[in-house]
Amino acid sequence: MEKNVISRREDYEISPFTFAVVPVEYGSKTYSKVIEFDEEILVPFRPSEVVKSSCDYFGADYPGRCQSTKKLLGISHKVPISLEPANRLFFFPTTSPAKESCIWLSYEHIVSRVKIDATKTQINFHNKQSIVVPVSYSIIENQMLRTAMLKSKLLQTLAETERKTHYLYNAMQVNDRNSDFQTKHGLMHSSNSYKEG
């Protein structure tokens, strides 16, 4: 695969095209290298800051997303989050988000994982691109499992809500038709009574 084009932006929101948000040293600061399908973007914020601002962009706050995952899965650290479940934006951290070395990976775009050694794992994406992350294979597998559980629970909730909304909408339509019929029937009855009088 050809080397991706690298561009720079002053801000960035995670999207369905985001594969990973990786910390990179830029001078004396830690920036983010965002990996997308055919582009790499340099952003002047740490990966966790990019994730937090993306939560804001989708109308949720980062602590709330974390708390939701903790309640749903019963876990307390390195929690995966759903930035926007309807668009299947499920991301997980490779280590504590408080650490500058933390990488955020998109669950949806990972096709396979390969153990390099005891402390390194290769992540392979849909576009045949790959990166090596400095954490063990077992940690990545555990994070993938947690994220799969989060995705399953949230999508199940979304489907149930959609089903109930559809049922309610249909019930309202029936009520509206009955109301129209009763109104018309009432007017006809009233009109006939008037003529008879």
Render each residue's pLDDT in the chain as its tens digit; 197 residues. 445 668 999 999 999 999 999 999 998 999 999 999 989 999 999 999 999 999 999 999 999 999 999 999 999 899 999 998 778 899 999 999 999 999 999 999 999 999 999 999 999 999 999 999 999 999 999 999 999 999 999 888 777 767 767 667 766 776 666 666 565 555 555 555 555 55
Q: What CA–CA distances, in Å, run from 121 to 57, 103, 115, 125?
A: 31, 12, 5, 13
pTM higher than 0.95: no
| d(C-alpha 195, C-alpha 197), whole Å | 5
Contact 14, 91 (CB under 8 A): yes
Return the CA Rg of the chain.
25
